Amino acid sequence: MRFESHTQFKRAVQKYAIMNGYNIGWKKSEFKKMYAKCVSGCEWSLYGSWLNKEKTFVIKTIGEDHTCPRSMRNKSASYVWLAEEFLPKIRTNLKYTAAQLQADAMEMWGLTLNKRTCYRAIARALKIIRGPFAEQYKLLASYKAQLKQSSKNSTFHVLLRHPQNMFKRFYVGFEGLKMGCLEGCRKVIGLDGCFIKTVVRQILLCAVGRDGNNQMFPVAWAVVEAETQDSWTWFLKFLFTDLQVGRGDCWTFISDQQKGLISAVSSLAPCAEHRNCSRHIYANWKKLYKGETFRNYFWKAAYATYEAEFNIAIKGMKEESVDAYEDFMRQGPEHFCRAFIKAGRKCDAIENNLSETFNAYICKQREMPIVDMLEAIRTALMVRMYEKSQLMVDSRDELCPRIRGKVEEAKMKSRCCVAKPCIGGKFEVEVDNDRFEVDLRGMTCTCRQWDISGIPCSHAISCINYMKHEINQYVDDCFKKEAYERCYQFPLPTLSGKKMWPLSTEEPILPPPFRKLPGRPKKQRNKQGENIEKRTRKGKAMVHPNTNPNKLTKVGVIISCSNCHDSGHNKRTCLKPLAPTQIKPPGKKGRPRKHPRPAMVKGTSTGQGDAITQESASQTHHVSNQACRTCGTQESACHAPC
Q: Tell me what the pLDDT averaged over the chain comes to.
A: 86
Mean pLDDT of 9-35: 86
- Give the pLDDT confidence of 126-180 residue by residue, as tens digits: 888 877 778 889 999 999 999 999 999 999 999 999 888 999 999 999 999 999 9
- The answer on pLDDT for 537 being more than 70 is no
pLDDT in tens, 257-272: 887 899 999 999 999 9
Q: Read off the pLDDT of residues 516-534 as tens digits, 9 standing for 90 and up.
A: 667 766 666 666 555 544 4
Band (pLDDT 50/70/90 cuts) for residue 536 is very low
Asked if 297 contacts 317 with a C-beta cutoff of 8 angstroms, the reply is yes
Average pLDDT, stretch 506-512?
A: 89
What stretches of 154-260 adopt beta strand conformation (E)? 155-161, 166-173, 188-195, 203-210, 216-224, 252-255
Overall average pLDDT of the 344-362 stretch: 94
pLDDT value of position 616: 45
Q: Is the pLDDT of residue 628 over 60?
A: no
Using CA of residue 529, residue 535, residue 539, residue 542, what is the dihedral sign? negative
Closest CA to 219 of 205, 203, 201: 205
Task: Write down the pLDDT at residue 360.
Answer: 93
More confident: 623 or 238: 238
Residue scoring higher pLDDT (201 or 285): 285
Do residues 296 and 312 make contact, with C-beta atoms less than 8 angstroms apart?
no
Position 296 pLDDT exceeds 90: yes
Q: Backbone dihedral region of 331: left (phi > 0), alpha (psi from -120 to 50 degrees) or beta?
A: alpha
pLDDT of residue 607: 45
* pLDDT range class, residue 98, cuts 50, 70, 90: very high
Q: How far apart are CA 104 and CA 98, in angstroms?
A: 10
- Predicted confidence (pLDDT) per residue in 102-130, tens digit: 999 999 988 899 999 999 999 999 888 87
Under 8 Å between Cβ of 465 and 414: yes
Interhelix angle for 140-150 vs 370-389, to 10°?
20
pLDDT for the residue numbered 226: 92
Average pLDDT over residues 65-82: 87
Residue 577: pLDDT above 50?
yes
Q: What does the pLDDT average to over 191-213?
A: 92
Asked if pLDDT for residue 18 goes beyond 80, the answer is: yes
| Residue 526: per-residue pLDDT | 63
The answer on pLDDT for 214 being more than 90 is yes
- C-beta separation of 231 from 205 below 8 A: yes
pLDDT in tens, 370-391: 999 999 999 999 999 999 999 9
Closest CA to 205 of 218, 180, 223, 188: 223
Tell me: pLDDT of 72 over 90. Answer: no
- Does residue 464 contact residue 443 with C-beta atoms inside 8 Å? no
Band the pLDDT of 362: cuts 50, 70, 90. Answer: very high
Top pLDDT among 438 and 540 is at 438
Domains and CATH numbers, the chain: 2-130 (no CATH), 131-277+348-394+492-513 (3.30.420), 280-335 (no CATH), 399-479 (no CATH)
Q: What percent of the chain has pLDDT over 70?
A: 87
Assign residue 244 a region (left: φ > 0; alpha: ψ between -120 and 50; beta: otherwise). left
Give 3-state DSSP helix, strand, coil % of the chain, rounded to 5: 40, 15, 45
Q: Across residues 357-377, what is the average pLDDT? A: 93
Which of the residue ranges 225-234, 400-409, 603-612 would you say has the lowest mean pLDDT?
A: 603-612
Confidence of residue 451 (pLDDT cuts 50, 70, 90): very high
Q: pLDDT grade, residue 99 (50/70/90)?
A: very high
pLDDT of residue 131: 74
What mean pLDDT is predicted for residues 36-40? 87
- Indicate the helix (H) or strand (E) that contains 88: helix 87-92
Q: How confident is the model at residue 587 (pLDDT cuts 50, 70, 90)?
A: confident
Judging by DSSP bridges, how do beta strands 45-51 and 611-612 pair with one another?
Answer: unpaired
Question: In this predicted structure, which of 42-51, 153-162, 406-415 has the lowest mean pLDDT?
Answer: 42-51
Q: What is the pLDDT of residue 23?
A: 85
DSSP state, residue 529 = G
pLDDT at residue 610, as a whole number: 46
Average pLDDT over residues 66-89: 88
Indicate whether 566 pLDDT > 60: yes
As a whole-number percent, the residues of the chain with pLDDT over 90 amount to 57
**Can you tell me the distance from the alpha carbon of 614 to that of 518, in angstroms, rounded to the nearest whole number?**
77
pLDDT at position 600 is 56
Per-residue pLDDT at 629: 53
Q: pLDDT band at residue 619, thresholds of 50, 70 and 90?
A: very low
Is the whole model's pTM more than 0.95, yes or no? no
Confidence (pLDDT) at 624? 45
Higher-confidence position of 598 and 143: 143
